[in-house]
Amino acid sequence: MLTDQEVAAESLRRMGDRAALDARRDEAEVFARLVAKHDYYTELGAAQLAPVDRHRVFLRRHDPARGEAAFRIELTKLDGSGQYLRVTVELSQVASSWRTKVIALDEDGESAAASQAFRATVYRCAHLDAETLFVHLAGIEGVTV
């Protein structure tokens, strides 16, 4: 994809202005094709690369009075076979049983982030079937999956 974007940028530079190509569209069919090619290269240059891995934590519920919080963890990663893999875990944790926080809340109680150790566990176990992954995660102190 990076190479394609480099080729697109170079081709756009050589083609020149799209408006000039569009103005000459009636002269010959080649100009109509160049306009289409210009549009394609413009889109290609603006395309975002798919991440090799992405780990997100969403706060679902937070009850400060009871010291409970519920989260959704999403991990998308490229596995060894070149296939994208997505793991979604719904979990809750109780503050009274936290020795080390698996998910940390910001002071405002609105944003959440997973600890590095928890992220590593989810990443390492992502290739497992759902039941085995849940067994691993349920073994973490203070976490309910």
Whether this model's pTM surpasses 0.75: no
What pLDDT score was predicted for residue 111?
A: 66
Residues 6+ away with beta carbon under 8 Å from 3: none
φ and ψ of 128, to 5 deg: -75, 160
Q: Say how far apart CA 13 and CA 24 lie, in whole Å.
A: 18
Mean pLDDT by 10-residue block, N- to C-terminus, for the chain (145 residues)? 80 92 93 94 85 80 80 83 83 65 66 74 76 77 70
Query: In the chain, where are the structural domains located?
Result: 2-46, 53-144
Q: Concatenate the DSSP letters of all residues of 14-54 into one string.
A: HH--HHHHHHTTTT-HHHHHHHHHHHHHHHHHHPPPPPSEE
Strands 143-144 and 68-78 come out as unpaired
**What is the torsion angle, in degrees rounded to the nearest 10, for the CA atoms of residue 92, residue 95, residue 97 and residue 99?**
110
